[in-house]
Amino acid sequence: MNAKQEILKLKDGECWIWPESDYGKAEIWYKNETYFVFEIPQFGGQPMYSYSFNKNNIDGLIHQVNLWT
């Protein structure tokens, strides 16, 4: 399943970890019709808040996370 399908499946209060490797790339939380994106540090540590996106801008969310290396 691709990232967009996974994100669209989220219900209010749920989180999906975008896999990029064993540790993940991003945590995406869905709350009150907004997606909150937290970057997972490559070398460990707590996820850090990066962006929030309206539920109608999933493509923008995907584009932004794909810019991360």
Average pLDDT over residues 51-64: 94
Domain range enclosing 39: 3-66
Cβ neighbours around 61 below 10 Å, total? 23
Domain count for the chain: 1
Which two structure tokens, joined as six digits, stand for 37? 């994106």
List the single range of 18-22, 29-33, 43-47, 54-58 with lowest mean pLDDT: 18-22
Query: What pLDDT score was predicted for residue 42?
Result: 79
Which of 52, 45, 5, 51 shows the shortest CA–CA distance to 23? 45
Q: What is the pTM of this model?
A: 0.87
26-31 vs 15-18, strand pairing mode? antiparallel
Position 47 pLDDT exceeds 80: yes
